[in-house]
Amino acid sequence: MKRNGILNSSISSVLSSMGHTDLLCIGDCGLPIPDETKRIDLALRFNIPSFLETLDVVTDDMAVEAYILAEEIKDQNPEMMENIRTMMNKKFPNAVECFTSHENLKEQTKTCKAVIRTGEITAFSNIILVSACIFATQG
C-alpha cells in the first residue's frame, strides 16, 4: 500500500504517465467533460472536495510550467483567481499564467490527459495545468 503522495490510483496513474507539455485539467462540478477525455470524478457533495484542496494535492505531485484559466474568472470569481495565483506562485514561481475564454478552455479539455472533477460550486473554478520537464527542474 502506498504511504505518501496521492492515494487516488487514477490520479496517480495519470500523473506518472505524463510527459513535458502534457495537459491536466482540474474542474468544478459543472465543467462539461468530453466523452473522449478520461474523467476522474472526485465529487461527493457540493464543495467536497474543494477545487483548491484538490489543486494543492495534485500540484504537490506534479511539476507545472504553465497554467490556463478562463478569462471570465477575473470578473466572476476574482477571489478564486487570487487564491490560485497565490498557490501557484508559491509552488511554481516561474510558471506562466495564461488566460483564454471559458469556451476555449472547455474545448482544450479534449486534449487533456484527464479532467479531475471536484465538488467545487463556485463559478469558473477550472484550471488546465501544463506539465513541466521534471529533469530540467532538478538541481
d(CA 119, CA 130): 22
d(CA 46, CA 55): 16
d(CA 139, CA 137): 6
Nearest to 123, CA basis, from 104, 139, 102, 105: 102
pLDDT in tens, the chain (139 residues): 788 889 999 999 999 999 999 999 999 999 999 999 999 999 999 999 999 999 999 999 999 999 999 999 999 999 999 999 999 999 999 999 999 999 999 999 999 999 999 999 999 999 999 999 988 654 4
Q: Dihedrals φ, ψ of 114, to 5°?
A: -165, 160
Domains and CATH numbers, the chain: 21-136 (3.40.1650.10)
Q: How far is CA 14 from the centre of its chain?
A: 12
pLDDT of residue 8: 96
pLDDT of residue 139: 45
Catalytic residues: 20
